[in-house]
Amino acid sequence: MTRERTSGLATEVRFLKGVGPKGAALLEKIGLRTVEDVLWHLPRRYEDRRDAPQIMLLRPGRSSTVIGKLEIVRSRGIGRGRVIVEALVSDETGEIVLCFFNQPWVGRQLEKYTGQRVVAYGSVKEGYRRRLELHGVEWEPAEDDVDAFARIVPVYALSEGVPQRLVRAAAAAAVGQFGNDVPDPLPHTFRKQHGLPLSSEALTELHHPTSDEARIRARRRFAFEEFLYLQIALQVRRQEIKQEVGISFPIRSLGKSRASAGTLFEPETGSPLSEEVAALFPFELTEAQNRVIQHVWRDMEAAAPMNRLVQGDVGSGKTAVAAAAMLAAVRCGWQAAMMAPTEILAEQHYFNLKKVFDPRGIPVVLLAGKLGARDRKSALAKAENGEGRILVGTHALIQEGVKFHSLGLIVIDEQHRFGVAQRMALRQKGETLPDVLVMTATPIPRSFTMTMYGDLDVSVLDELPPGRSPVTTYWRRPGDRSKVYSQVEELLATGAQAYFVCPMISENEKIQAQAAEDLHYRLSTGVFAHRKVGLLHGQMKAQEKEAVMEAFRAGETAILVATVVIEVGVDVPNASVMVVEDANRFGLAQLHQLRGRVGRGARRSFCILISEGTSDDVVERMQTLVDTTDGFVIAEKDLRLRGPGDLMGTQQHGLLTFQVADLVKDAILLEEAREAARLLVANGELDRPEWAMVVERTRARRGDEALVTVS
Ligand code: ADP
Ligand code: MG
């Protein structure tokens, strides 16, 4: 966080009590030059030293404060030049030995206090012959103020050679001398409304906690403030987009010459385009799909560019929504582009869309990196001369140098890999601002949606198409593999089909393909030698893949061995068994996605995860999948297990990194900050002078990593 420098806060640290020039040089090592730097160098954690039991009551394995008389100090070598300093401390109930490893100087300091009372904090251990020891000790002579030591003590992040004690002293002095100089950017009434303590008080509390409650309230204040800046930026962004002028797709007047002239409020079903969409698929759209399509069309009709997110669990039918949007764009005379995060996914979309649009004479063109030079050239020409009406590719491809004839709509199918910045970059591509529809392959927790996509309008597909049967999931150890195989065989005997997902051993597609070939060999020459076993991986040619899929779809092959290629788009209702080998190598969200391939038909479906329980983390992942099929529950769990950065990929770090706030723990606070930001922006409150500092800081925040492209 950038903080402006007012005179007192700009004071150099060497002027702080207990720091001096030497201390200042050390503090500089961790980037602390001014009082302000020190104040905003917040503790990493706290030690509660208030509990100071009598020595008799100390329990090994716990951290405790010890108060007693320092009896004897001695140093002894323990070989290879190492030294241990031991100090015996006693009270009326017992004795304990404070142990200091390789800090010979501590012996000399301690000796000065023999016979006097000291107070120490550390972790209690049981040593040789059950003697009580205290390790990792911090201590002070207990001259007068034991309470100053036995309190909730801040622990700061350090680097080598910078003593904790120095940072603590600097922080204490900074708070004491300058704490009140810290300005509060939030207006008084706003703070009261949200129960936020004054900035200076909260900061003081964080460095010098008086109670757990007050400290938690102080932390909450700064977490809220961080969320608020980001959410204001996103809301402003959103408002800016709404004021831009894009394309008004005349969706409702399509085919008016035929139908009676409708008003904007005519029943939404029954319009010619609705009829055409209904005829697009071999199934009836779910209510949720219809609802979301209406949201999308309404956005497309409006002059402001659409900026909408469609969120839905695996298999909820997002592609149909995308197709409906693209059809609308095409019928209004524009091109539509669909971008996928991987080539495989792009190809998959291409084949599916082709099936839908070919019969209607709407040309779908694939822009893939794999294309030969000639095909690529022809695809690019079709994008530019307008012959291609729907263009499908990876986002890398479409972002780079493709010229469009008349691009009106961009659909981003993103499996959460696309940031605000990239979306903005895209938007600035065309002369006319195209509409943007983002589809996230859940699971993404809500707190993420609000951060990553806080500038978007959100529609949720909260209904799965009918005919899905719940999948029963089992977790089996590798030792049970042959038993699992014979159970699969029993199901195959009833006419079911099965997927075998091969272990994820590498991101490298070639190596991964090899792994799939190995598993295919093992199964097709071993237990399942009497069955037809297919093989599918990313290194195969598109045609080969199609043939393999066709054979499996037609029931000619009983088993399909595959890499995560099948994570996307593969849809065979009769396949009701999935075995995931070395399931521990997959992330929770990915396993959920994979599992979505079964449970699509009338048969009872099973997913069997084969994995060792090598760590708590693995156990928790496996157990979560066994326990639930709810994508959002899984998403929250995934976030908790992996942490935000990892979940979203490195590009997203900027938006997801906070100094104080925590997307998992502070999810409710985030909602509150978002709503507050929404109201501030909607009511134009930020123009008032009392919000000037907030506006300034929001700008600073918007300037950092993730929001760079925001004008
Ligand atoms: P996702 O939301 O995971 O992208 P898809 O769009 O790939 O889901 O759809 C999953 C499967 O469900 C596809 O095979 C699709 O044809 C099918 N599907 C989509 N909508 C419906 C529906 N309303 N009724 C029946 N099947 C549907
Ligand atoms: Mg999809």
Range from 80-89, 241-250, 676-685, 699-708 carrying the lowest mean pLDDT: 699-708
Q: Is 80 exceeded by the pLDDT of residue 643?
A: no
Name the residue ranges covered by the structural domains of the chain: 1-49+154-170, 50-150, 285-301+317-440, 471-628
Higher per-residue confidence, 4 vs 547: 547
How many Å from the N-terminal Cα to the C-terminal Cα in the chain?
A: 20
Q: Which residues of 523-532 are buried (b: 16+ CB within 10 A; e: fewer)?
A: bbeeebeebe
Topology of 285-301+317-440 in CATH? Rossmann fold (3.40.50)
Q: What is the CA radius of gyration of the chain?
A: 32
DSSP 554-605: TTS-SEEEE-GGGGSS---TTEEEEEETTGGGS-HHHHHHHHTTSS-SSS-E
What pLDDT does residue 711 have? 25
Select from 420, 428, 426 the least CA-distant residue to 450. Answer: 420
Strands 497-501 and 575-580, sheet pairing: parallel
Residue with token string 């009829």 = 275
| Residue 47 token pair | 């030690």
What pLDDT does residue 596 have? 87
Phi then psi for 385, rounded to 5 degrees?
A: -90, 0
Question: Cβ-count burial of 581 within 10 angstroms (0-12 exposed, 13-18 middle, 19+ buried)?
Answer: buried
Is the bond leading into 183 cis (omega within 30 degrees of zero)?
no
Q: CATH 1.10.3470: does it fit domain 1-49+154-170?
A: no
What pLDDT does residue 1 have? 47
What pLDDT does residue 637 have? 85
| Closest C-alpha residue for ligand 1 atom 26 | 465
State the ligand closest to the CA atom of 316. Answer: 1
Strands 407-413 and 335-340, sheet pairing: parallel
Looking at the DSSP bridge assignments, the partners of residue 312 are 441, 461
How much of the chain, in percent, has pLDDT values that exceed 90?
A: 50
How much of the chain, in percent, has pLDDT values that exceed 70?
A: 88
Looking at the DSSP bridge assignments, the partners of residue 580 are 501, 609
**Which tens digit of pLDDT belongs to each residue from 126-145?**
988 889 999 989 888 887 66
Higher per-residue confidence, 192 vs 503: 192
| Closest C-alpha residue for ligand 1 atom 16 | 317
**Amino acid identity, position 497:** Q
Select from 424, 440, 446, 428 the least CA-distant residue to 341. Answer: 440
Q: List the 364-367 sheet strands across, edge first.
A: 364-367, 390-394, 335-340, 407-413, 435-441, 307-312, 457-461
Q: Is 80 exceeded by the pLDDT of residue 461?
A: yes
Q: How far is CA 65 from CA 48, 139, 352, 583, in A?
A: 9, 9, 67, 45
- Give the Cα-Cα-Cα angle 108, 114, 118 (nearest 5 degrees): 95
Spatial separation of the C-alpha atoms in residues 335 and 141, rounded to whole Å: 78
- What's the CA-to-centroid distance between 569 and ligand 2, angstroms? 7
State the ligand closest to the CA atom of 569. Answer: 1
- The answer to whether 285-301+317-440 and 471-628 have equal CATH topology is yes
What pLDDT does residue 425 have? 60
What pLDDT does residue 430 have? 53
Q: Is 50 exceeded by the pLDDT of residue 55?
A: yes
State the ligand closest to the CA atom of 320. Answer: 1
Q: How confident is the model over 355-371, as a mean pLDDT?
A: 89
What pLDDT does residue 418 have? 53
| Closest C-alpha residue for ligand 1 atom 27 | 465
CB half-sphere exposure, 95, CA atoms < 13 A: 12
What pLDDT does residue 468 have? 79
Residue with token string 């060792």 = 612
DSSP code of residue 262: P
Mean pLDDT of the chain: 85
Looking at the DSSP bridge assignments, the partners of residue 534 are 560
Phi then psi for 174, rounded to 5 degrees?
A: -60, -45
| Closest C-alpha residue for ligand 1 atom 17 | 317
Task: Give the H/E segment covering residue 105.
Answer: helix 104-111
Taking a C-beta distance cutoff of 8 angstroms, is the pair 621, 588 a contact?
yes
- What's the CA-to-centroid distance between 279 and ligand 1, angstroms? 15
| Residue 310 token pair | 């469609």
What pLDDT does residue 535 have? 94
Q: How confident is the model over 141-160, as a mean pLDDT?
A: 79
- What's the CA-to-centroid distance between 230 and ligand 2, angstroms? 29
Architecture of domain 471-628: 3-Layer(aba) Sandwich (3.40)
The residues lining ligand 1, judged by C-beta closer than 6 Å to any ligand atom, are 283-286, 289, 312, 314-320, 465, 569, 571
Higher per-residue confidence, 627 vs 151: 627
Spatial separation of the C-alpha atoms in residues 323 and 356, rounded to whole Å: 8
Give the 3-state secondary structure of residue 124. strand
DSSP 446-485: HHHHHHHSTTSEEEEE--PPTT--PEEEEEE-GGGHHHHH
Give the 3-state secondary structure of residue 311. strand
| Residue 239 token pair | 């408002």
Candidates 291, 571, 594: which one to mutate for ligand 1, based on the most atoms within 8 Å of Cβ?
571
- Other CB atoms within 10 A of residue 563 CB: 23
- What's the CA-to-centroid distance between 317 and ligand 1, angstroms? 4
Range from 195-204, 226-235, 275-284, 657-666 carrying the lowest mean pLDDT: 657-666
What pLDDT does residue 415 have? 57
Spatial separation of the C-alpha atoms in residues 213 and 210, rounded to whole Å: 8
Task: Residues 50-150: name the CATH superfamily.
Answer: Nucleic acid-binding proteins (2.40.50.140)
Q: Is the pTM of this model over 0.75?
A: no
What pLDDT does residue 113 have? 92
**Which tens digit of pLDDT belongs to each residue from 302-313?**
999 998 989 888
What pLDDT does residue 322 have? 96
